[in-house]
Amino acid sequence: MAAAGALLLSVLTGTWSDSRTHDGRRAVAASGIAPELADALWRCLDKDPTRRPSAATLAAAFARESARQAVSGAGKGGDAAGETGTEESRAKE
């Protein structure tokens, strides 16, 4: 789970660094990752393997965030479906 958490944090923040450092925490905060999802990912990096979430718990955190974004239409620069710069949307501009 530690490797999965590190990889997912790097993908979501766009930077490959130790997320437990000050710079890593700043990158996570700036990325806009939902707090519940960020918390689950941080727990993946816990030094004590028994305190890390299970794969099912991590998947559930991603599913909840995905559902929340789908309902709210949240997305950076895209429409509710998460599309950006489609032919149709460019024609409307």
Rounded to an integer, what is the distance from CA 49 to the centroid of its chain? 21
Per cent of the chain over pLDDT 70 is 70
- For residue range 52-82, what is the model confidence (pLDDT) as tens digits? 999 999 999 999 988 988 887 755 544 444 4
Domain boundaries, the chain: 2-73
Rounded to an integer, what is the distance from CA 13 to the centroid of its chain? 8
- For residue range 3-33, what is the model confidence (pLDDT) as tens digits? 998 899 888 888 777 666 667 677 777 788 8
